[in-house]
C-alpha cells in the first residue's frame, strides 16, 4: 500500500556549495521523527540529479554529496531546479522534493569578437584581424563591435564595456551597453596610422568578473595598406614579448650576481673578524722571529753576525801620482753580543792601518815604478 503525501518540499540553495553542506532538515519539514526514518528505511529514489544530494537518516537531514554547477545542470534554462522523491517503507510513503539552484557569479565574460590569439579570453591577447578606418571617416563612424557573452544568469550576465587604454583616447569611444567602438571626431592627417584599443568587458555580479580584449585599428584608405600595417602589428607584438623576456632574464641574473657578491663579502668580513678575535683572546706567548745570520744591535736594526771586509791601502803620493789598489788581506769581524766589543775591535784595526810600518802596506807595484822612472827621464 502506498500513500502519496500531498505537498512538496522545496529548497533553494546556491550553486558551488561544498560537499557536506546542509540543504534542509527533512525530518522536521515532513513532520517525521528519526525512528520513522530508520524503521522505514528512508531513501532517495527517481530523478536524474539524485547524485548531488544525500539523505542522512540518523540526523534526518539532506546534504550536498558533490559539487553542483548550475550551468552544467541547466545550461541557459532559468530557473534551474531538479527534483527527486524520498521513499519510506511499512507503510510505503513518497515525498517529492524540489531543489532550486541559485546562480552565482562563477564565470567571467567570454569575448567572441574580435577573435584573440590567447587561449584564455580573460587574458590580454592580440587580435587576429585589424579594423580599417578610412581617412574620410566622420564623427560617429562605426569601427567595430566587441561581442561577449556570460554563461551566468540574471544580473550576473549583464555586461558593460569600458575603454581602458587607447593610442588616442580623443579619437574613439566604446558603447557602455553594446560594445560598439565609434569615432568621436573626424580623422586628420596628424592621427597615427596604427591605433590600439584595450576594452574591458565586466559583468554585474558581486564580486564582478571581467575580461580584456585588444582591438587593432588602422587608419587607411586601401586594403593593401591595411595588410602591411597589420603585419607591423604582429611584429610589434613579437618584439614586445621578446623584449619582456630578456628584461626579466637580465633582472634575474643581475639580482643573482648582487646577492652572491653580498654573501661573499659578508662571509669574508665575518671570517676576518673571527680570526682577529681568536688572536686577541689567545694566551700563548709571542716569540719574536729573527732571520738567520742576523742579530739586533742597539735596538735599531739588524746586522749580520759575520762581516767579511777588505782593508786596502794606496801608494804614497809623494813617490808617485799613480795609485793602484793592491790585493788585500781579508779579516773577519765577529760581532760580540755587546756593541762595546765591536767598537773596540774596529778601533784596533784602524790603529794598525795608520802605522807606517804596518805589515798590511806592501811594496810599490811594478807599474807604479815604471811611471816614476819615466817622469824622471822627462825632466832630465
Query: What digits encode the pLDDT tens for the residues 317-365?
Result: 444 444 444 444 444 444 444 444 445 555 555 555 455 554 444 444 4
Task: Specify the CATH number of the domain 110-221.
Answer: 2.60.40.60
Q: How do residues 165-221 score in pLDDT, each as one tens digit?
A: 999 999 999 999 999 999 999 988 888 888 999 999 999 988 899 999 999 998 887
Q: How many CB atoms lie within 10 A of CB 114?
A: 21
Chain-centroid distance of CA 302 in Å reads: 61
Query: For residue 367, what pLDDT is reported?
Result: 47
Name the more confident of 144 and 33: 144
- Domain edges within the chain: 2-102, 110-221, 223-281, 294-379
Task: Specify the CATH number of the domain 2-102.
Answer: 2.60.40.60
CA-based nearest residue to 156, from 211, 208, 79, 201: 208
d(CA 380, CA 378): 5
pLDDT higher than threshold 60 for residue 40: yes
Identical fold for domains 2-102 and 110-221, yes or no, is yes
Cell of 87: 521513499
Query: For residue 281, what pLDDT is reported?
Result: 65
Please give the C-alpha separations between residue 341 and each of 333, 336, 337, 378, in angstroms, as whole numbers: 11, 6, 8, 53
pLDDT higher than threshold 90 for residue 13: yes
Give residue 147's pLDDT band: very low, low, confident or very high (50, 70, 90).
Answer: very high
pLDDT mean over 142-164? 92
Strand boundaries in 115-234, DSSP class E: 130-133, 142-145, 147-149, 159-166, 172-174, 180-183, 194-203, 210-219
Query: For residue 339, what pLDDT is reported?
Result: 46
Q: Cα Rg for the chain, rounded, in angstroms?
A: 55
Please give the C-alpha separations between residue 200 and each of 124, 211, 379, in angstroms, as whole numbers: 10, 6, 127
Cell of 209: 568578473
> Which spans in the chain are helix H?
26-30, 34-39, 70-74, 223-281, 339-354, 366-379
DSSP label at 358?
-
Cell of 118: 590567447
Query: For residue 115, what pLDDT is reported?
Result: 84
Query: For residue 123, what pLDDT is reported?
Result: 45
Q: Do residues 174 and 162 lie in contact, with contact meaning Cβ atoms separated by under 8 Å? A: yes
Vertex 54: Cα angle to 52 and 57 (nearest 5): 170
Query: For residue 128, what pLDDT is reported?
Result: 62
Q: Do residues 11 and 26 lie in contact, with contact meaning Cβ atoms separated by under 8 Å? A: no
Query: For residue 74, what pLDDT is reported?
Result: 87
Amino acid at each position: 500500500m502506498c500513500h502519496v503525501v500531498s505537498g512538496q518540499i522545496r529548497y533553494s540553495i546556491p550553486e558551488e556549495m561544498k560537499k557536506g553542506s546542509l540543504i534542509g532538515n527533512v525530518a522536521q519539514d515532513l513532520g517525521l521523527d528519526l525512528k520513522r526514518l530508520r524503521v522505514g528505511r528512508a531513501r532517495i529514489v527517481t530523478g536524474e540529479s539524485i547524485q548531488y544530494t544525500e539523505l542522512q537518516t540518523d540526523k534526518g537531514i539532506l546534504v550536498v554529496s558533490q559539487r553542483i554547477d548550475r550551468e552544467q545542470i541547466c545550461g541557459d534554462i532559468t530557473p534551474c531546479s531538479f527534483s527527486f522523491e524520498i521513499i519510506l517503507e511499512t507503510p510505503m510513503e513518497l515525498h517529492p522534493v524540489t531543489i532550486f539552484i541559485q546562480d552565482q557569479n562563477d564565470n567571467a565574460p567570454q569575448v567572441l569578437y574580435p577573435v584573440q590569439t590567447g587561449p584564455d579570453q580573460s587574458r590580454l591577447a592580440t587580435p587576429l584581424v585589424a579594423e580599417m578606418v578610412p581617412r574620410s571617416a566622420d564623427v560617429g563612424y562605426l569601427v567595430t563591435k566587441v561581442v561577449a557573452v556570460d554563461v551566468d544568469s540574471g544580473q550576473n550576465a549583464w555586461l558593460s564595456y569600458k575603454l581602458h587604454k587607447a593610442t588616442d583616447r580623443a579619437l574613439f569611444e566604446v558603447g557602455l551597453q553594446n560594445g560598439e567602438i565609434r569615432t568621436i571626431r573626424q580623422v586628420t592627417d596628424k592621427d597615427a596610422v596604427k591605433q590600439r584599443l584595450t576594452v574591458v568587458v565586466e559583468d554585474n555580479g558581486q564580486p564582478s568578473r571581467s575580461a580584456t580584449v585588444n582591438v587593432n585599428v588602422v587608419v587607411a584608405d586601401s586594403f593593401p595598406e591595411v595588410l602591411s600595417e597589420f603585419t607591423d602589428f604582429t611584429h610589434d607584438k613579437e618584439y614586445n614579448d621578446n623584449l619582456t623576456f630578456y628584461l626579466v632574464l637580465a633582472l634575474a641574473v643581475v639580482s643573482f650576481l648582487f646577492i652572491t657578491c653580498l654573501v661573499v663579502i659578508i662571509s669574508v668580513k665575518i671570517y676576518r673578524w673571527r680570526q682577529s678575535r681568536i688572536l686577541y683572546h689567545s694566551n700563548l706567548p709571542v716569540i719574536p722571529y729573527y732571520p738567520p745570520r742576523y742579530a739586533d744591535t742597539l735596538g735599531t736594526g739588524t746586522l749580520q753576525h759575520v762581516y767579511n771586509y777588505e782593508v786596502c791601502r794606496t801608494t804614497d803620493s809623494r813617490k808617485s801620482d799613480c795609485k793602484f789598489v793592491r790585493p788585500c788581506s781579508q779579516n773577519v769581524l765577529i760581532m760580540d753580543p755587546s756593541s762595546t766589543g765591536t767598537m773596540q775591535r774596529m778601533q784596533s784595526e784602524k790603529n794598525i792601518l795608520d802605522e807606517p810600518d804596518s805589515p798590511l802596506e806592501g811594496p810599490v807595484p811594478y807599474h807604479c815604478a815604471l811611471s816614476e822612472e819615466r817622469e824622471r827621464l822627462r825632466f832630465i
